[in-house]
Amino acid sequence: MPTSITTIKHKLDSHLGDSITVVAQAGRKKITKRRGILRETFPAVFVVELDQDQNNFEHVSYSYTDLLTKNIALEFDDDQEAVEA
């Protein structure tokens, strides 16, 4: 189980190019699910290229602290592995 930003980044680096589902808290009782492909990781954020038939925009970025604070959860489609802090 990743417990720091560096371990989360290394885990995401191993999944570059994989299909991913991002479950994000959008409000008090609202949850959004977005499907796409993990494209890039940077020192503080990672970028997901979204499916165009489901979303109005092409890319979305999240910070690793979103995973640490459990504001988002990631699920990889290929092996049903979830990334959580």
Task: Please tell me the predicted confidence (pLDDT) of residue 61.
Answer: 93
Q: Average pLDDT by consecutive 10-residue portion of the chain (85 residues)?
A: 80 93 89 92 94 81 92 82 58
Which tokens hold the place of 84? 């959580």
For residues 47-84, one letter each, b for 16 or more C-beta atoms within 10 angstroms of the residue's C-beta and e for the rest, the string is ebbbeeeeeeeeeeebebebbeeeebbbbbeeeeeebe
Nearest CA-CA partner of 2 in 79, 73, 52: 73
Count of CB atoms situated within 10 Å of the CB of 2: 17
Q: The domain at 5-76 falls in which architecture?
A: Roll (2.30)
Domain spans of the chain? 5-76
CA–CA separation, 57 vs 68, rounded Å? 25
